[in-house]
Chain A
Amino acid sequence: MLKKIIVLMLALAMVLSLGLVGCQRDEEPVVVDEPEDKQEDKPAEPVADKYGGVVRVATWSSPPGVFHPHLYTDHYDALALSPMFDAMLKMTPDLEFIPSMAEKFEVSEDSKTLTFWLKEGLTWHDGEPVTTADVQYTFEMIADPGYTGPRYADIMAIEGVVEFNAGEADHISGIKIYDDLKISITTKEIYAPALADIGGRAIIPKHIWSGIPVAEHAEQTEMLRNPIGSGPFKMKEFVPDQFVHLEAFEDFHEGRPYLDGFILQVANQDTSQAQLIAGELDFMEISNIVQDEIDLLESEGIVVEKVVSRGFQYMGVNTRLEVFENPLVRHAFAHAINRQGIVDSLLEGNGVVANVPLAPISWAMPDASQINQFPYDPEKAIALLEEAGWEYKDGTMYRDGEPVTFTLLYPPGNKVREKSAPLIQQNLGDIGIAIELEIMEFGTLVERTFNTHDFELFLMGWGLGVDPDSTSIWHSDAAGLGGWNVVGFINDLNDELLEKGTQFLAIEDRKPIYHEWAINWNKYMPSIPLYSTIEARAYTPRLRGLQVHSFGNYYNLHEWYFAE
């Protein structure tokens, strides 16, 4: 009896001492560093001092481990890929493309041919030289008939890709190798996103992959898990469901990164702030800002940088259904939903109301005065619906004598979006439209919307690329089953402008086209844009030299360093 109690007490003591041991060890470095932390704007430190340290970045789900820039299908793999792979061009925080692996590049007179000169002495992580043959191989791998990844549509604009894919040619005719360093790539038509889709394409090593038929690439687990790239960090250790550990690539062409390592660490979104404060993490993205959370982080000395998101949230409307055919109905919805209220209360001001399907920072965004703002106005909404032939009686909206009810589908996951659903329900209820809410898991929602068009209203968001070209989302060609024009927007002017928009390379030439396109879209409003959020990046104050922006965090990852 007594023995048992003693054993028990010993066990308890052990548990407690584990806690205490760890406690002491964890606190040590923090105490040492604290006085340094306050000196935010110190003059440039001597370069030698910047080297060292490992940054731990939060990810909400484990990368499955398909570390191949053209075969991965999981967003979380991309987080680990971007430090490991490099492209000929890269995008600056001002959204301009500048040379990365390329020394320089040229655009031909007719704007169809891009010529790149690679830097001399570039090497892969395994020490082999990077040549134009690798560039050619990258595109031929994607164009290969046996290719199983999702990136084929990105490169179809290149001359000869379709023929190569059909097995009619040995090489892509539009890609011309001059020597080991000079290569040119020609598109069939002028292709506006060429700089991003061609210049910004991650290059993969030919010497690693060319020995294996493309159709079997996805099965080469060992090679996918131990990728060879040319980016600033290379693979050190991948422990699925826990972390991806990358280490500095000594021969990176812009110089060895200051950091010794980069770790992508799986964390729980609900407890990660606590981990950041406790020093278990160094950097994380916050997609939905909660002011109290930001206050807490900042009071603990964490740096919080806000950036505008690169997308928007919307309520999709199935315009194929007769009841939603009339644009007045959609306008009425836009007036009825208190979108400013969502921004003010649910987002605590960290967002803007959206009226066109573009990222708020895009150059394609027309001036606010040119588009209808659809301010919150339930009376106007009722008036518009009555104009469309609906009837409003005693707080209920009737159409052909029947009370109007719709089902709004939405997925869990994004907390603000989840909360906006009952708000929209209440807003539409105020103009007499009964809304049935149906929350469903993402895969199911995709089946109901994109794959079968079996829906009335739904909530979702788009994260957009840098280029405003939205042909794949809004062109009538994409309105079929499985296409991204899920709301079924069919409009001739819309198609025409989208097609015209990609036929110029210079932003100045494209701007007026996209402005007109956005104004036209806003006029028909095939779905109701709700808001674009302001996001945040939070990181430990010891971490310096970051240049984060809406479209990426790792633009200058090799220049990040820890202040000591």
Chain B
Amino acid sequence: MVNNKLIDLINISKSYNGNVIIDDLNLYVRENEFLTFLGPSGCGKTTTLRMIGGFETPDQGKIIFDGKDITKLPPNERQLNTVFQKYALFTHMTIAENIAFGLKIKKKSKAYIDDKIKYALKLVNLEDYGNRMPDSLSGGQQQRIAIARAIVNEPKVLLLDEPLGALDLKLRQDMQYELIRLKNELGITFIYVTHDQEEALTMSDTIMVMNKGYIQQIGTPEKIYNEPENAFVADFIGESNIIGATMVRDRLVNILGANFPCVDEGFGENKPVDVVIRPEDIDLVAPEDGIITGRVTSLIFKGVHYEMDVMANGYEWLVHSTDLSPVGSEVGLKVDPFDIQIMKKPESDDEEAVVNNEQ
């Protein structure tokens, strides 16, 4: 992707009552990108979104939108629209009036507004709902109206603040596909806030993982999942085994006393590192074929796979496998070299929340 930078956040800091929410954040958003802010609650993701929307002002730093400094511009003068978590529809207006709200303020002609309402309702598959009141719609329908209300204004960027948080699982999955379709049809930039890693992985072009006001990692979903940069990202994105280990030399790592071949280089010799191994990347083999051996201590059927705990070399390994090994059986564990992700050990608290802005 060689798209232009559309939004640029430069050295943004924000605190409430002395609590630092965002510390010196740098980030850019490209045109036509689906960018997701992912992190646990209180990590600063919503605050960052609200600063882009204009509902909060950063204590320090600048927000550049399309080449212009909009740091202090009020929300009503920004060319972006927000979809709020609790829909925020105007309950005393009909669906059509809700959608027309922004256009009426911009003094568009009636014909134009009617056209737009029709178009927007069609886009969100709620064609005959124009005359209904918001209260008579289900949560999923209300959320789609909130999206329609935002996009009729033809924003360059749509901000979505956990828009699917209040919906049930099935509806949430349907809406994820709906959002991807909308994004492709509209060809605009989406900035999406969520704490749900699966949602982020499904929809995003780029994911920014945040914790405690710091960016932990920015990258494509594949990169975030397969090559987490630190233990936090590895732990937050899916389940994983995170183990302290020693890098013996290039392409060989010693995990819990056993030498595993890997593909990483440049960490030095006999240096302490963290390794991440996804549970589905561990192969259960006959004890004599494994790099290490252990005993199955628990077994849970999860539908697609079995989830097993294997006690080996003093660590309880989490293993996902479609093959069953009963509790108490002895198994060998094997990991392909490219499935071992090596991470530098954080040397201080600051580095744990390392700011890394490589996109």
Q: Are A and B subunits of one complex? A: no
